[in-house]
């Protein structure tokens, strides 16, 4: 057991006993797929959900009982956009530490991006991640690269990566500059019904800039990344998807213009989904006046107007998914350097639920059903993986959320190896208090 001073307890897989029976009582069970929102009991045996009903089965004798009074019992959350850094940068994060952070954040599964070293661009590397995932507290779904080495020159072998478990393709961290190559990638992915996850950025427009191009960047004397650098590539990739009929998913949407383009494409029937991240709905470029390197990410924090457009797009359904874009860095890449020399990226697995509850649910912008759809149901549907429901017979991947508890973000108490959070010191309301993965309690949070 790995304990923290604030009552967090995480149970690594190699310390767990065989799957026992678990009873979850007195909780508000929210399961959008089955239209459930009621005070019910959930019974788990041998890793499967065996009952969701007002009372536990008469012959059911649990090994463990979870009292979920005042809490929500929901399908296990999934973060479909994380960077686990392994192989290659295990000083920043490992597959084990990253999935521990996921469990502590309430996530029973994550999809990991391919920009590791070496890149996840062929069968053996996808297989390596999956095998490492067998030792972890949450499931891992690898995303294979679109192009070999992320070099944008030659397509990776999609077929062999799908065969061993890749659930999508992306060159995340950069766009595929060649429209012809991107068109071929979309045609190829279509045969597997696997989404292409698009990092939308025109590198020529971005240049070597460090924050959003705006009045704030001018005032700070910083080179700016224009919003059009994202929007041009969003428009191009949508047009290619419309032409080929392939599925695309736009990653980390950050601008009002991108929202408008995506909304119009959905109205035309383009096969497109998209995501944004907690930092884009909470912060803006005005938060960079202190040159806080932990708020430097790509895409960058945009204007307050962009932030409001993203919030409205979440509420209105244009944005399908909320993901963290968890991107760990060591201190020498972030904390101990000038802003212009700092690496792009922030972590978010252990703060996502708190940020979404505090800034969206408790403000009445979305309800709990919508939150669970965007953080469990829709990501699983996009990736074509199981879960997202508490149906009888399903694997017992369950998140128990305390929506009312107040807590303060302290990166020293994270399970992630890195501490580059944009929310240090934030006062939040709500967090995951128990995570059940494949019928095992892997994480608890409460009184020591």
Q: How far apart are CA 56 and CA 77, in angstroms?
A: 24
Residue with tokens 């991240």: 277
Whether the CB-CB separation of 225 and 300 falls below 8 Å is answered with yes
Q: Which residues contact 415 (CB under 8 A, 6 or more apart)?
A: 2, 4, 8, 10, 97, 100, 101, 103, 104, 350
Beta strand residue intervals within 189-295, DSSP E = 196-198, 211-212, 224-225, 248-250, 272-276
Q: Is the sign of the CA dihedral 275, 278, 279, 282 positive or negative?
A: positive
| CA-to-CA separations, 387 to 49, 94, 167, 261, in angstroms, rounded | 11, 24, 14, 30
Q: How far apart are CA 273 and CA 263, in angstroms?
A: 10
Whether the CB-CB separation of 294 and 421 falls below 8 Å is answered with yes
Whether the CB-CB separation of 327 and 278 falls below 8 Å is answered with no
- Report the candidate in 330, 353, 298 with the shortest Cα–Cα distance to residue 416: 330
Q: How far apart are CA 50 and CA 47, in angstroms?
A: 9
Whether the CB-CB separation of 357 and 368 falls below 8 Å is answered with no
Active-site residue, from 320, 325, 333, 395: 325
Q: Is the sign of the CA dihedral 417, 383, 233, 204 positive or negative?
A: positive
| CA-to-CA separations, 95 to 100, 123, 349, 393, in angstroms, rounded | 9, 18, 13, 29
Residue with tokens 């996840």: 120
Q: Which residues contact 217 (CB under 8 A, 6 or more apart)?
A: 209, 211, 223, 224, 285
Q: How far apart are CA 383 and CA 325, in angstroms?
A: 16
Beta strand residue intervals within 193-309, DSSP E = 196-198, 211-212, 224-225, 248-250, 272-276
The answer to whether residue 202 is catalytic is no
Hey, which residues are catalytic here?
A: 325
């Amino acid at each position: 057991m790995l304990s923290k001073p604030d009552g967090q307890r995480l149970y690594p897989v190699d310390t767990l006993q065989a799957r026992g029976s678990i009873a979850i009582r007195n909780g508000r069970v929210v399961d959008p797929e089955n239209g459930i929102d009621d005070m019910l009991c959930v019974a788990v045996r041998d890793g499967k959900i065996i009952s969701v009903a007002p009372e536990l089965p008469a012959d059911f004798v649990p090994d463990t009982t979870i009292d979920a009074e005042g809490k929500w019992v929901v399908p296990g959350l999934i973060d479909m956009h994380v960077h686990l850094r392994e192989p290659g940068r295990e000083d920043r994060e490992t597959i084990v530490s990253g999935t521990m952070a996921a469990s502590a954040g309430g996530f029973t599964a994550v999809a990991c991006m391919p920009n590791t070293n070496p890149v996840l661009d062929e069968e053996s590397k996808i297989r390596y991640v999956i095998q490492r995932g067998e030792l972890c507290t949450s499931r891992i779904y690898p995303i294979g690269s679109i192009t070999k080495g992320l070099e944008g020159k030659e397509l990776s072998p999609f077929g062999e990566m799908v065969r061993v478990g890749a659930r999508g393709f992306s060159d995340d961290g950069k766009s595929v500059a060649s429209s012809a190559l991107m068109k071929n990638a979309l045609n190829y992915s279509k045969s597997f019904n696997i989404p292409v996850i698009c990092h939308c950025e025109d590198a020529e427009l971005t240049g070597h800039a460090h924050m959003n191009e705006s009045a704030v960047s001018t005032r700070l004397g910083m080179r700016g990344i224009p919003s059009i650098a994202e929007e041009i590539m969003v428009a191009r990739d949508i047009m290619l998807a419309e032409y080929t009929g392939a599925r695309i998913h736009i990653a980390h949407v950050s601008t009002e213009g991108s929202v408008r383009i995506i909304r119009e494409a959905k109205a035309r029937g383009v096969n497109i989904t998209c995501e944004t991240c907690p930092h884009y709905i909470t912060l803006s470029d005005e938060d960079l006046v202190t040159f806080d390197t932990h708020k430097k990410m790509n895409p960058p924090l945009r204007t307050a107007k962009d932030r409001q457009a993203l919030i409205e797009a979440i509420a209105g359904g244009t944005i399908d998914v909320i993901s963290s874009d968890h991107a760990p860095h060591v201190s020498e890449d972030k904390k101990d350097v000038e802003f212009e020399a700092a690496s792009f990226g922030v972590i978010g697995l252990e703060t996502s639920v708190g940020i979404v509850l505090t800034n969206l649910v408790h403000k009445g912008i979305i309800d709990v059903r919508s939150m669970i759809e965007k953080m469990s149901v829709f990501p699983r549907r996009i990736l074509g993986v199981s879960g997202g429901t508490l149906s009888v017979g399903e694997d017992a991947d369950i998140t128990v959320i305390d929506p009312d508890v107040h807590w303060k973000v302290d990166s020293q108490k994270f399970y992630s190896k890195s501490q580059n959070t944009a929310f240090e010191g934030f006062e939040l309301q709500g967090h995951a208090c128990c995570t059940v993965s494949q019928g095992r309690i892997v994480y608890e949070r409460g009184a020591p």
